[in-house]
Amino acid sequence: MTKLSVICGKASEDLGEKLAKKVNANLVKSDVRVFPDGESKITLKGNISKIKSVVVQSFYPPVDTNLIQALSMISKVKETSSEVIAVIPYMGYARQDREFLPGEVITMKVLAKLFKGAGASKIIAVDIHSLIGLKHFTIKTKNISAIPDLAIYFKKLSLKNPLIVSPDQGGKERAKEFAKQMEIDYIALDKKRDRKTGKVEIKTKKVDVVGRDLILVDDMISTGGSIINATKFLKKEKCGRVFVACTHALLMNDAGKKIKKSGVTKIVSTNTIPGKTSIVDVSNTIAKAIV
């Protein structure tokens, strides 16, 4: 039996298989049966290492189902393995890292207790929405970036005087790092979001982007509101093509179609969430964080 096993949940099966090959680990797959009432029954198929195991499972929609499956697999693996590393390529609930309005539950604090209780000794996340969320964990945590992997993809494209754009000031550092990887410039737009309604408004008045191909960079895209507003604004400023680069493409409620309709040429995301746009593989980056 190998010293390392990779257990992949149904939500991250392809990524888990790629990761197992990268780290030369024994692959353990999960057979999941979902009952009519929504309960999940999981059976792990393969040999689990007694020394060290890695459980790979994103929790994108259905978020709670994929989360419970992740915790269940960690608990089962811990019965055999001395060390269990939980790789959460997409960490759901990461936006609930603090109490924004009175009475709100800080769900990341709850997750921290759940993962420790299930038996995880370390958490590895990819481009978590907020690093504050990881501060709630009492076990080891590590956040890794998919920006280098995304930058490699865009370096291969024939772009006209490209510019990196963050749709808001919150993503300024992300845009800066992306621009550094590609050795080009970046800008960050000003936006305002209503905490109660979720409505987004661009506050920036003018930018010099005439004729330039732009890469709109974000960590995640859910409904696409920020990206759509930014694209419409940039198109009015007479930019060239607009590409979207993100780590996690949730693309809820036909967001992909709406984003394309706003003027975006292509959406490029990673395989932290499987889908039509997830063409950039992050298994090698995760592998480096494990070994």
Q: What is the pLDDT of residues 248-291, one digit of tens each?
A: 999 999 999 999 999 999 999 999 999 999 999 999 999 999 97
Q: From CA 89, how far away is CA 91, in angstroms rounded? A: 6
Confirm if 124 and 144 have CB atoms less than 8 A apart.
yes
Q: From CA 77, how far away is CA 191, in angstroms rounded? A: 44
Model confidence at 88, pLDDT cuts 50, 70, 90, reads very high
**Can you give the length of the chain in residues?**
291
- What's residue 201's pLDDT? 73
Active site residue 191: yes
Q: What is the pLDDT of residues 4-60, one digit of tens each?
A: 999 999 999 999 999 999 999 999 999 999 999 999 999 999 999 999 999 999 999
The verdict on pTM exceeding 0.85 is: yes
The first and second tokens of residue 291, run together, are 């070994």
Query: Which residue in the list 76, 78, 122, 191 is annotated as catalytic?
Result: 191
Confirm if 212 and 160 have CB atoms less than 8 A apart.
yes
Torsion of CA 166, 155, 150, 244, to 10 degrees: 40
Model confidence at 67, pLDDT cuts 50, 70, 90, reads very high
Name the average pLDDT for the chain.
95
- What's residue 198's pLDDT? 67
Q: Residue 105: is its pLDDT beyond 50?
A: yes
- What's residue 243's pLDDT? 98
Which whole number is the average pLDDT over 60-65? 97
